[in-house]
A and B are shown apart, each in its own frame.
Chain A
Amino acid sequence: MYEEPYRWVEAVGNRRQYLDAQFAQGSPVVGVACEQGILLMTMSKGTPKLYEIYDRLAFGGMGHPADLEKLRFTLLEMAHVEGFNRSASDVTGSRLVKYGIAPVVKQAFEEVFKAPFIVKIMLAELSQKVGKDGFLTITYDGVFEEKSRYAVLAASASVEQQMMEYLRPQSCVSLKDAVDLAIHTWAVGDRAQRHTDETGGDPKDARGSSDQPVTDSPTLMTHVRQCMQEKSIECALLDRHVPGTSKYRTLGAGELETLLPKDLSSALT
């Protein structure tokens, strides 16, 4: 029945709707570059969403855990085989995404008789030079984008846009700035997502009646504090100052306590 082109286009369209709905409950992911490196932040329930891929590559994901695991393994295999056969500097996020997972994800999306990957992925890449750090994001249909300074993953494109608008004018130097900014941005995204969900998924309604997302700090922090009752803050850092070749590390509870805005660090314990 899909041999007719119209039916195929319709099927892909349905699939897009189905997939969009899958992310509505997901937790956004924020990536912010600062002087010390790149910070990835999300809030998760149990299963971590941030991972190490290679010496200077970190992974953040939204979507189905099994699909994320599958693509994470694909990335890990490619990165390590390439790093061994060639060198660590030949393992770049852009090669892994463009020639590695993007074609696989796109193919799965368009083969309407098979299951698609329910994923949105962010790869953060720490450069040798400050200011050259970058991000790659890829969505379930295989579309990828390159970003610098910061990147976000959220349930819909309009929520992502709101988060990016919030991020754009902010400056971020220290790690503390980065943690602060990431958490605020996460809250902007998560609030917008919930709002969209309540208004029946029409992205035009996402901004609410005022047409502007709420961005004042106290409201955002209250939202995060509420979320902390069932989820926990997950932060990972590609740390320029870590000795050795592997730059990835997670921020433990002790370190987070010193970095979080005051009213949140008390909620940690």
Chain B
Amino acid sequence: MQGDFYQLLKDQGYVLGMPGQAGVGQTLTTATTILAFKYRHGVLVAGDRRATAGNMVMYDRTDKVLEIDRHSVMAIAGVPATAYEMVRILEHSFKYYRRTQLQELSFEGKLRALSKLLKENVPAALAGTGAVVPIFAGYDAEQEAAKIYFYDILGAEFEGAEYAVSGSGSPTIRGILHYVNTWGEQPLSAMSEEQAAVQALRLLTCAAEFDSATGGVNREAGLYPVVKLITSDGVTAMSDPHLRSLFESNVSKGL
């Protein structure tokens, strides 16, 4: 079938994940708390910025919420090397499809493309060298709705009706999301953009409180989580100054 960029790569001898055994005593870099939920105008996707290898903090400026095209975002948890490679493949696949077939790949087609990559990556995931557990969120132009999907390492795809979380810090905030959404003043889906961003900052601060592999807000270094919004207009990233003012007025007072 024409328009399949991944097939084109494979025809040229490309292999995505090399299955292998994680060496004893070798710790792999992993990346950590990501979340997505629906708010009034679309979907908010956020992630902390820490990458760790065992007890080591490898990097504190990781961007785990990656734009694949104007209307979709993949947030990554797991081994970043594999995750970044998957993002690159998807980015090129969607562009290649659009440019060869002269139409946009459908939202379902995009989801399927990610599933396929995860499935191909199963040997590496099981060997412990390349597990990736992403969240995929995007705007479905046909159905005129923003949607959230999450995956397991084998490539099974689940739709998150209201929210989805992934990464080592996610158990902490999953319960909070359920609580806020069910018994909070208003459900997540009724929140404005600013209310949603405040919620995301609070949730990531919580995750950082209990999970050493999640980096919270580091005000001295001016480090804030990555927060992206998906609406019918496409993907926009919230600027650091905006996040700082929201954090200072709504989050830090309790700390």
A246-B95 CB under 8 A given contacts A73-B100, A76-B100, A84-B89 = yes
| Contacting residues of chain A (4-57) with chain B, CB-CB under 8 angstroms | 48, 51-55
- A76 to B98: give the CA distance in the assembly, Å: 11
Residues of B within 8 A of A243 (CB): 70, 234
For B104-139 the 0/1 string (1 means CB < 8 A from A) is: 000000000000000000000000000000000000
Q: Which residues of B contact A53 (CB under 8 A)?
A: 99
Q: How far is the CA of A243 from the CA of B12 in the complex (A)?
A: 32
A84 touches B88 (CB 8 A): yes
Assess the A81–B100 pair: CB atoms within 8 A.
no
Chain A residues in contact with chain B, CB under 8 A? 48, 51-55, 73, 76-77, 80-81, 83-84, 243-244, 246
CA distance A83 to B5 in the complex (A): 12
Q: Roughly how many angstroms separate A69 CA and B47 CA in the complex, as a whole number? A: 42
Of B9, B70, B99, the contact of A84 (CB 8 Å cutoff): B9
- What are 12 A-to-B residue pairs whose CB atoms are below 8 Å? A52-B98, A52-B99, A54-B99, A55-B95, A76-B100, A77-B8, A80-B96, A81-B8, A81-B9, A84-B88, A243-B70, A244-B70
Q: Given that A51-B99, A73-B100 are known contacts, is A80 also in contact with B70, CB under 8 Å in the complex?
A: no
Q: Which B residues fall within an 8 A CB radius of A?
A: 2, 5, 8-9, 12, 67, 69-70, 88-89, 92, 95-96, 98-100, 102, 234
A83 CA to B2 CA, complexed, in Å: 19
Shortest CB–CB separation between residue B238 and chain A, in angstroms?
Answer: 15
Cβ–Cβ < 8 Å partners of A73 in chain B: 2, 100
Contacts of A83 on B, CB cut-off 8 Å? 92
Give A43 to B98 CA distance when docked, in angstroms. 23
B92 interface neighbour in A51, A80, A244, Cβ under 8 Å: A80
Among A48, A51, A77, max chain B CB count under 10 A is at A77
CA–CA, A110 to B100, complex, Å?
29
- CB-CB under 8 A from A77, the residues of chain B are 8
Query: With the chains together, A101 CA to B5 CA distance in Å?
Result: 20
Complex Cα distance, B13 from A81, in Å, reads 12
A161 to B135, CA, bound (A): 55
Query: Is the Cβ of A76 less than 8 Å from the Cβ of B96?
Result: yes
Looking at the assembled complex, report how far the CB atom of B3 sits from the nearest CB atom of chain A, in whole angstroms.
10
Known contacts A48-B102, A244-B69; 9 further A-B pairs (Cβ under 8 A): A51-B102, A55-B95, A73-B100, A76-B99, A77-B8, A81-B9, A84-B9, A84-B92, A243-B70
Residues of chain A within 8 A of B88, CB atoms compared: 84
Q: Which residues of B contact A51 (CB under 8 A)?
A: 99, 102
Nearest-CB residue, chain B, relative to A72: B100
Bound CA span A77–B7, Å? 11
Chain B residue with minimal CB distance to A55? B95
